[in-house]
């Protein structure tokens, strides 16, 4: 039995991203392709997303151009690849507030948004610091934070303090404070609905960029395997490692069940196809009765 279908949808990409940004300490090791994606979780009664991408205008476009983003497409075009529209989405889980994850809230008018309280409040604090300390804001659009406050005024923002079970049936939120960002979080889908799930999926946000952070694409991690954290942290690599261990423990140390959305190698681990716009649709799993969107 599977309650939810899960897809990873690429909405743009960076062709050449420094590998040292993906793997901590990988200096002078060249470049990798970095897909920019969000996740759709579709069940019988809900359509949820993990992150919403960014809108390619105003300062969001400035950041996209600065990071070398190519082939951006809006959520209407991207979601249509799996037969959905932004208006179908009722719940959005924001893993963290970097521009490519929290910059497109206006395209989801019916959704309620969940974010860690520490995440949004600490970015307000960081925005108030002198410009000489603005490195912390390198991947944040201040307008996104303001729009997040606007969601709160509309009663469409839920600020979470730590873990939260069954936000939707079988879907849990977990926090990783002071790691990649101040209040990063990941989403666990217990797809059999059981508390001790035998069919769990972890949607890692940017706590894991690629399978190489786990050192075991498609395999079970053992005591001889070393985690390597991502290259960007406003917190600490220690906290990233601790979060990685907790995520892995939730899936019985089966690395393919921790889904890194910046991973080009998802194509090798799961069924996928390239859309007419040249972007990848990856099918992680299908709910009972759901038809494949990549066949």
Residue pLDDT, tens place only, 236-253: 999 999 999 999 999 999
Q: Is pLDDT above 90 for 138?
A: yes
CA angle 275, 279, 285 (to 5 degrees): 80
Taking residues 256-266, what's their average pLDDT?
A: 96
CA dihedral 175, 180, 183, 185 (to 10 degrees): -30
Q: Indicate whether 156 belongs to any domain.
A: yes
- Is 175 a member of any domain? yes
- pLDDT value at position 224? 67
User: Is 279's pLDDT higher than 60?
Assistant: yes
Residue 142 lies in a domain: yes
- Among 287, 207, 280, 290, smallest CA distance to 250 is for 207
Does 292 reside within a domain?
no
Cα separation, 229 vs 269, in Å, equals 21
Other C-beta atoms closer than 10 Å to the C-beta of 246 total 15
The answer to the question of residue 113 being in a domain is yes
This prediction's pTM: 0.96
Provide the pLDDT for residue 218.
46
Whether residue 293 is contained in a domain is answered as no
Phi, psi of 14, rounded to the nearest 5 degrees? -110, 120
Q: What is the mean pLDDT of residues 84-112?
A: 98
Arithmetic mean of pLDDT, 65-80? 98
pLDDT at 125 over 80: yes
Q: Would you place residue 226 in the very low, low, confident or very high pLDDT band (cuts 50, 70, 90)?
A: confident
Token pair, residue 113, equals 């948004």
Render pLDDT for 158-199 as a digit per residue (tens, 0 to 9): 999 999 999 999 999 999 999 999 999 999 999 999 999 999
Q: Is the pLDDT of residue 220 over 70?
A: no
Domain assignment of residue 88, given as a range: 5-285
Distance CA 225, CA 280 (A): 30
pLDDT digits (tens, 9 = 90+) for 3-40: 999 999 999 999 999 999 999 988 888 999 999 999 99
> Is position 94 within any domain?
yes
Mean pLDDT of 275-294: 98
Q: Would you state the structure tokens that stand for residue 204, as one six-digit string?
A: 């890692």
- The answer for residues whose C-beta is within 8 angstroms of residue 55's C-beta and 6 or more apart is 74, 103, 104, 106, 107
Percentage above 70 pLDDT, the chain:
97
CA distance linking residue 47 with residue 154, whole number of Å: 20
Q: pLDDT (tens digit, 9 = 90+) per residue, 203-212?
A: 999 999 999 9
- CATH number of the domain that 154 lies in? 3.60.15.10
pLDDT grade for 217, boundaries at 50, 70 and 90:
very low
Q: How many domains does the chain have?
A: 1
Q: Distance between CA atoms of 159 and 197, rounded to whole angstroms?
A: 26
The overall average pLDDT reported for the chain is 95
In a domain, 291, yes or no: no
pLDDT-derived band at 215, boundaries 50, 70, 90 = confident
Residue bearing tokens 């420094």: 18
């Amino acid at each position: 039995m599977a309650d939810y279908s899960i897809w990873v949808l690429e909405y743009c990409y960076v062709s050449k991203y420094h590998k040292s940004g993906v793997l901590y300490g990988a200096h002078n090791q060249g470049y990798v392709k970095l897909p920019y994606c969000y996740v759709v979780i579709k069940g019988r009664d809900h359509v949820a997303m993990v992150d919403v991408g960014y809108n390619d205008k105003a300062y969001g476009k400035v950041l996209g151009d600065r990071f070398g983003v190519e082939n951006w497409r809006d959520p209407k075009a991207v979601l249509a690849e799996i037969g959905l529209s932004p208006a179908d989405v009722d719940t959005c889980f924001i893993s963290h507030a970097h521009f490519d994850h929290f910059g497109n809230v206006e395209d989801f008018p019916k959704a309620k948004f969940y974010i860690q309280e520490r995440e949004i409040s600490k970015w307000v604090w960081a925005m108030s610091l002198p410009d000489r300390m603005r490195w912390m804001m390198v991947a944040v659009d201040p307008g996104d934070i303001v729009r997040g406050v606007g969601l709160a005024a509309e009663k469409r923002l839920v600020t979470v303090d730590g873990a939260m079970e069954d936000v939707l049936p079988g879907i849990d939120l977990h926090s990783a404070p002071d790691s990649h960002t101040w209040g990063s979080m990941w989403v666990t889908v217990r797809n059999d609905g059981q508390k001790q799930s035998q069919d769990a999926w972890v949607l890692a946000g940017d706590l894991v960029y690629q399978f190489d952070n786990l050192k075991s694409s498609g395999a079970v991690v053992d005591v001889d395997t070393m985690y390597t954290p991502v290259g960007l942290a406003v917190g600490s690599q220690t906290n990233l490692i601790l979060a990685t261990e907790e995520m892995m423990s939730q899936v019985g140390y089966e690395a393919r069940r921790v889904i890194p959305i910046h991973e080009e190698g998802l194509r090798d681990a799961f069924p996928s196809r390239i859309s007419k716009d040249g972007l990848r649709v990856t099918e992680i799993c299908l709910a009972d009765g759901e038809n494949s969107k990549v066949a």
